[in-house]
Amino acid sequence: MARNRRPQAADEKREEIVTAARRLFLENGYDATSMSRLAKEAGVAANTIYWYFEDKDDVLVAVLSAVMADVWPMYQAVASEPISERVLWIVRRLTEMRSLVTTVHARVPHSPKVAEWHNNFHVLTSVLFRAELEAAGVSPETVDAEVMIAVFTVEGLLMHTADENEQRTVCQTLASRWPSAADQSPRSSDHNATERRE
């Protein structure tokens, strides 16, 4: 029985460390959060953190993964909205974590593990945009460029201060590049496709 409980306790302790790190990174910043401060916040001895993480960048990657795990299920609440609203929703959620976004870009040149996470995030984002644009009928000749424009637009909004109205205008302008995507939600697209088949 003890063997069954021990991994669970380890997982719970790791989660507590990630939760504490997430709070400290957002409130105080990555650079201002020492591993000793993180250990104190998580209620563990300083060297205990290194049983779970190799270094602070390893903690950062765990925090980023936890954030994404929280955000994507929430995305389902807007999954039926037009693409401009969905892009805006993503921008706003990420804007709330702007300090983490800035930290990622600052750490990429210095940390292979953060660079790998960042690259995987770009791949995921690109795959999502590609699926949307291909479904909207964007031509194969231009879809790669359109995906890059979309990803760079989202990153630009995160790296530069813009109020909600500016964010909405940019997202609507971006979506207007893909008229059929701008005017339809996934459900309406499915409905129209059904009508065409009938």
Residue ranges matching CATH 1.10.357.10 in the chain: 56-197
Which of 40-49, 68-77, 102-111, 165-174 comes out lowest in average pLDDT?
68-77
CA distance 53 to 62: 9
Q: What is the 3-state secondary structure (H, E, C) of 64-123?
A: HHHHHHHHHHHHHHHCCCCHHHHHHHHHHHHHCCHHHHHHHHHHCCCCHHHHHHHHHHHH
For the chain, what is the mean pLDDT? Answer: 85
Superfamily for 1-53?
A: Homeodomain-like (1.10.10.60)
Q: Which CATH class is domain 56-197?
A: mainly alpha
Percent over 90 (pLDDT), the chain: 53
- The pLDDT, as a whole number, for residue 7 is 52
Q: pTM for this structure?
A: 0.80
Residue ranges matching CATH 1.10.10.60 in the chain: 1-53
- The pLDDT, as a whole number, for residue 182 is 54
With a cut of 50, say whether residue 106 has pLDDT above it.
yes
- The pLDDT, as a whole number, for residue 181 is 61
